[in-house]
Homo-oligomer: A and B are copies of this chain.
């Protein structure tokens, strides 16, 4: 496949590197910032551009992996310059109708994973959710998705958007709870590394128990004495005590 990557952020970087690893290196990386495009292009051994006029016109697939706030504008510009091929975006919450009237063949390939430039993921295990404008385009996006992952399925936007919001809770919000733990530990001269066995077990449990069954801790025991003590300890930090209070109340109310 002749693939052009539009974007050079976390998602674009992980997809481009995975494609390069399987011999399907994108022919070009576009990014608004040339330096970003070049960093990724150099990493995978291909060309970089930040100029819409230079974007390859005869690609089979254009993968649009830019942040959602920028996507509408980027799609407008891309489709003004390139008319042929299949256009795909990677966003969980954005509709594929963003391409309607601008491209003929289009769709979505949403890889549900947390991507950082500093750590490549094993893409074969990443659940990928595909949607397309028509059957022929679906076949092409499915083929692309199966090059990347062993875990591919078709899913309409009406469900994909709930998957994305659930992923924000499971990943982004769980991670920020760890950032808060790190903030507390570092303030008291303790290293975050000490938490790693606890983090590993917290997730290992969820392979066998439903999160409601796996819940432990003061609030889930109804141990309001400890909850009050902890809130008093966090008294000088309004942000953390608000989070502690909101999440403990949810746990208290939803106890098994």
Contact = CB atoms under 8 A, between A and B. Distances in A.
A23 interface: no
Nearest to A155: B190
B159 A234 contact: no
B234 A165 contact: yes
A186 B234 CA distance: 34
B69 A223 contact: yes
Contacts of A188: 159, 162
Interface residues of A, number: 93
Nearest to A196: B207
Contacts of A182: 166, 210-212
16 contacts: A67-B223, A69-B222, A93-B229, A118-B208, A159-B189, A165-B184, A168-B230, A170-B181, A171-B198, A175-B202, A175-B216, A176-B211, A179-B212, A179-B254, A182-B210, A242-B246
